[in-house]
Amino acid sequence: MARDKFIWCRNCSAIHHVTPFDRVAVYAVLSDAVEEIATYDWRAFMQQHANHKLEPLEAAGEKYFANGSALDPMSVGYIEVTNGHDRFLLRRSRKSIEEPLAYELMKGRIVATGLSLEVQENEIKKEIKYHFTWSPAMPLNDDRIDLFIGLLKELVKGIDPNTVQITEYSYTDESVSYGSLDPDVIEALMMKCAAYFLPVELAAIRRFVESHRESCDVMTLLILRQSAIEQPVY
């Protein structure tokens, strides 16, 4: 995957994000007619900062979105970049959806603070209610589904995130990956369920778990990489 590229004006600290959309036209309504306006953002930036000291920057791999995912257009994000020698931190933000993203160079770095695990609660509910075939058992009602998910969440609390095997990486959030339930965990879950579900229901639950535990399916765990911004103290 190609890494994001930027141009940094060292004279005035302006940042331009180099993208394939630099030459995309914009459209405006003028006198009841739609008019295409040619744009060339890269060239405009270069002309505006002519005779300034410009330096190329490239994303160094680490990204952190404090209040959302990379796909959220309003999410404030932090990107580690390098000029080939030193590392810097870019802050990405916008004040409204109509405005382009703005980038600000700042001192600091992205540091990992740990991992946590989550159950795909909503996805499990949808799969159980609308897609899974429970025959010969009767489908579980909402209360029974919540009971099953509650038992799973209780069990997951005791799992060390570092011991979970990754099965897939999220395509939409770099801080999220998916992990499989170990056979021992599945057996422990079945033992918990045995106290609340009929044998025919228990057999269907096992079949559900086993058939939805690969890749990024609903019975895989969300492995969330926790990060924070560390800034120098003066």
Q: Quick one: pLDDT at residue 174?
A: 77
Ordered alpha helix ranges (H), the chain: 41-48, 121-130, 142-156, 183-194, 199-211
Task: Using pLDDT thresholds of 50, 70 and 90, give the confidence band for residue 23.
Answer: low
Helix/strand/coil percentages in the chain, nearest 5: 30, 35, 40
Top pLDDT among 71 and 225 is at 225
Give the rounded distance of the alpha carbon of 49 from its chain centre.
34
pTM of the model: 0.69
Whether 38 has a pLDDT exceeding 80, the answer reads: no
Share of the chain above pLDDT 90, in %: 60
In the three-class reduction of DSSP (H, G, I as helix; E, B as strand; rest coil), residue 214 is classed as coil
Q: What gap in Å lies between CA 163 and CA 220, rounded to an integer? A: 14
Top pLDDT among 188 and 97 is at 188
pLDDT digits (tens, 9 = 90+) for 161-192: 999 999 999 987 778 999 999 999 999 999 99
Contact criterion met (CB below 8 Å) for 205 and 148: yes
pLDDT digits (tens, 9 = 90+) for 197-231: 999 999 999 999 999 999 999 999 999 988 888 88
pLDDT digits (tens, 9 = 90+) for 124-157: 999 999 999 998 889 999 999 999 999 999 999 9
Phi, psi of 133 (to 5 degrees): -95, 115
